[in-house]
Chains A and B, each alone.
Chain A
Amino acid sequence: MAENQSYYVPASSPWPIIGAIGLGLIAWGAGNTVIDMTNEQDGYGSTVLIAGIIVMAVMLFGWFRDQINESMQGLYNEQLGNSYKQGMSWFIFSEVMFFAAFFGALFYARVIAVPWLDGASNNAMTAEVLWPQFVAQWPLTKTPGGTETEAMGWYGLPLINTVILVVSSVTCHLAHVGLEKDNRKQLTAWLAITIILGCIFLYFQGAEYIHAYEQLGLTLQSGIYGNTFYLLTGFHGMHVTLGTLMLIIMFLRVLKGHFTPDNHFAFQATSWYWHFVDVVWICLFVVVYVI
């Protein structure tokens, strides 16, 4: 609840409308890129998409620059800090629900759809009429339509990646502790290690995709097993990429001497995001790879 203090209301800003234009260009460009790709025609979809991404990048840079300047001038008060923290928490909750949709799809396919196709529950005739040869199994290495693939094991790269991400969560926390104790050395060192671990994770993830495509024949078109595998790990990978970029920006700001033990919302938000990405990976490792 508000203390009896003056409120802070930010001045008007051109960045939101620029952001809206950017998102509009991205949506229109992405849609047309996909349509052009399918029809194998040349269009200006991809050009518009790139333009949109540039506009978004400019917008983010400008918006955050203004934001950082205002914060450094001491214009912000504690209430605004709370608003940011709560806003970030709800944003992460929305991300959790986004992943929940794909985890839900994996659960439904594995526990309901695939067994039903083999006649489970009261679906004996489904199996009989549609694909009598089909045998339910998970990972679904042979689809009813006959596409074959190999399953991705959990040992090797995925296990190493799990360890890397869990360790990076710890190092991120140590950096945060360093910041709170005003120990800049600890902050810089652990933050740098976190970024490096994030990059290694992404590199291994790329290597794993290449392995899957080239050796295992596990592609995006390999039926529901490949679909859930790639969309879950893919969206997770995109979030790790974003998280790493955020960490790099935090690192640059730390080098410029930003943040104090009691004023470092941006760092805190980045750290929350990084832990969230880590938790998603642990769930993902368990349900996609192990069981």
Chain B
Amino acid sequence: MSTVVDDIHHEEHHDHKPSGITRWLFTTNHKDIGSLYLWFSLIMFFIGGAMAMVIRAELFQPGLQLVEPNFFNQMTTVHGLIMVFGAVMPAFTGLANWMIPMMIGAPDMALPRMNNWSFWILPFGFAILLSSLFLEGGGPNFGWTFYAPLSTTYSNDSTALFVFSMHILGISSIMGAINVIVTIMNMRAPGMNYMKMPLFVWTWLITAFLLIAVMPVLAGAVTMVLTDKYFGTSFFDAAGGGDPVMFQHIFWFFGHPEVYIMILPSFGIISAIIPAFTRKRLFGYASMVYATASIAILSFLVWAHHMFTTGMPVFAELFFMYCTMLIAVPTGVKVFNWVATMWRGAMTFETPMLFALAFVILFTIGGFSGLMLAITPVDFQYHDTYFVVAHFHYVLVTGAVFSIMAAAYYWLPKWTGHMYDETLAKLHFWTSLISVNVLFFPMHFAGLAGMPRRIPDYSVQFADVNQITSIGGFAFGLSQLIFLWLAIKCVRGGEKAAAKPWEGAEGLEWTVPSPAPYHTFEKPPKVE
């Protein structure tokens, strides 16, 4: 039965953990659920990564060598879906679960049982999605954006499984986001007012709002795909008065905020790590909050920049072009603030900081190529080329994934009670940094020269650049195994970590011992 623990001393001496498998199945503990999310996301990262390896192996040479085009399409589709919904989003939710209650001085998430439900839906959702790959005719092969009519008229039988797995993954995300918002709004310790919250909490608050606003729209989009394909409706069929372009509008109304869902928490992480290793307070805290909010609001007004070549009235193209370029302003504020934080700081370069620095530089490259893509007439040339692939991998891999790595290194001592192996971590960083640029930078040139994306074969003039890219890809994939080894090693043992292993770190999470006790803050701490 439930317990109300009202004696903090009592709790400190009896840090009792339930044991066995039911601990993980029935848990209501935000730290357990956070760990489940993080491990799940790491597994998905490797499964999605293995698919990327298939893609890069096929593209190592022109011509068809290893896989059928249909299977290649399934790989690009499922790689995208897994990385977006299985790797990056659960990793952020895991970080939110672990850190937000500790950062705001709460004992747990606001709705702990729903929290467990949100997590456990994920394995089932992905089991359904992945199982469809083994059916006759294969799994989804229409790209992660599942544009109609590829996903309706021309898709294979298993599309219904894709649709319903998206539905339950969406339910999981919405419940996770509701939990985060309610936790932040309702569970802050006395004195922790909004403008004192760590930026990771702020960025997640705004991310959670975006999730609740757009995941239902995705549910609507997949539902229309389902009825169009199986029940004879014509939402996306001009013969019935619908329009395939409408699919793109609905999808990207979800899709663009979704892109920011995958980067705003990164901003929060970087805003925690850079001050810690420069031993200075974050420059421009309030402007960071307002910039995040501006990005979120603008994210609802830019969706059609994914569709410049699809066809729109000129005024719409201009509207979406200018709104998109406007996003560079708040993003620029953020990059400026991070650099200003480092200005004259007493910097040291432990692994979290290295990943954070790489994030600032490489994410900015991805941001700039995004700015290029925002310019409508220029986009007419770049659209659906490898330039776009380079752009979003710079923001998602060297952006989102690097920030998740930075976060993992930064908080591993708090999670496990052990310091990670700094030598291995540096090795992981440098191999990742070099290989990721060998992997994605040449894609810019391939794209500018006109190489189309999502095609298993290509013209021979792209052979050299693809070979370099593939070598970078294999190296990046292998580098991530270092992280897996390091993470397992760190969980199993290592040098004991102090409550606050980083000299310049700030925040309530560093006031509790490492590893963080199973229950923290059952009495709210006092925040000055």
Binding site for B on A (CB under 8 A): 1-4, 6-17, 19-21, 23-24, 26-28, 30-32, 34-35, 37-39, 63, 70, 75, 79, 82-84, 86-87, 90-91, 93-95, 97-98, 100-102, 104-105, 108-109, 112-114, 116-117, 121-122, 130-131, 140, 143-145, 147, 220-227, 231
Contact = CB atoms under 8 A, between A and B. Distances in A.
Nearest to B26: A12
A100 B217 CA distance: 7
Contacts of B4: 6, 8, 75
B243 A143 contact: no
B195 interface: no
Contacts of B213: 93-94, 97
Contacts of B174: 91, 94
B460 interface: no
A38 B160 CA distance: 11
A93 B214 CA distance: 11
A6 B250 contact: no
B210 to A, nearest CB: 11
Nearest to B25: A17
A225 B363 CA distance: 45
A213 B117 CA distance: 40
A16 B124 contact: no
B201 interface: no
A108 B230 CA distance: 22
Contact of A105 (B5, B179, B250): B250
B488 interface: no
A97 B239 CA distance: 28
Contact of B235 (A17, A100, A224): A224
A86 B217 contact: no
B161 A19 contact: no
B108 A38 contact: no
Interface of B: 1-6, 18, 22-23, 25-29, 105-108, 110-114, 116-117, 120-121, 123-125, 127-128, 157-158, 160-161, 163-165, 167-168, 171, 174, 177-179, 181-182, 185-190, 192-193, 212-217, 219-221, 223-224, 226-227, 230-235, 238-243, 245-246, 249-250, 253, 313, 519, 521-524
Given A105-B235, A144-B238, A223-B240, A1 B227 contact: no
B229 to A, nearest CB: 8
Contacts of B127: 24
B28 A9 contact: yes
Contacts of A112: 243, 246
24 contacts: A2-B524, A7-B523, A9-B108, A10-B28, A13-B113, A17-B26, A21-B120, A24-B127, A26-B168, A27-B161, A27-B167, A31-B128, A38-B157, A83-B110, A83-B186, A84-B111, A108-B246, A112-B246, A113-B238, A143-B234, A143-B241, A144-B239, A224-B242, A227-B233
- Secondary structure at the A interface, as helix, strand, loop or mixed, is helix
Contacts of A79: 186-187
Given A86-B181, A105-B235, A220-B227, A6 B6 contact: yes
Given A11-B1, A140-B241, A223-B234, A23 B168 contact: yes
Given A12-B27, A83-B110, A90 B181 contact: yes
A81 to B, nearest CB: 10
A23 B72 CA distance: 30
Contacts of B221: 101
A35 B2 CA distance: 44
Nearest to A82: B186
Contact of B107 (A7, A32, A114, A140): A7
B113 A147 contact: no
A12 B28 contact: yes
A112 B310 CA distance: 15
B216 A97 contact: yes
B112 A9 contact: yes
A35 B113 contact: no
Given A91-B178, A227-B242, A16 B128 contact: no
Contacts of B114: 16, 87
A87 to B, nearest CB: 5
B142 to A, nearest CB: 16
A91 B177 CA distance: 10
The 6 closest A-B pairs by CB, nearest first: A101-B220, A24-B124, A145-B239, A20-B120, A98-B216, A16-B117
Contacts of A222: 240
Contact of A113 (B1, B242, B519, B524): B242
A63 to B, nearest CB: 8
A220 B113 contact: no
A84 B171 CA distance: 17
A224 B182 contact: no
B212 A93 contact: yes
Contacts of A114: 241
Contact of A20 (B121, B240, B242, B245): B121
Given A10-B2, A94-B212, A102-B220, A35 B231 contact: no
B168 A11 contact: no
User: Which of B18, B29, B167 counts the most A-chain CB atoms under 10 A from its CB?
Assistant: B167
B246 A105 contact: yes
Contacts of A116: 243
A3 B526 CA distance: 11
B313 A224 contact: no
Given A26-B164, A122-B313, 8 more contacts: A2-B105, A15-B117, A24-B168, A97-B217, A100-B220, A101-B253, A104-B249, A231-B224
Nearest to A101: B220
Contacts of A108: 243, 246, 249
A26 B188 CA distance: 37
Nearest to B189: A2
B241 A224 contact: yes
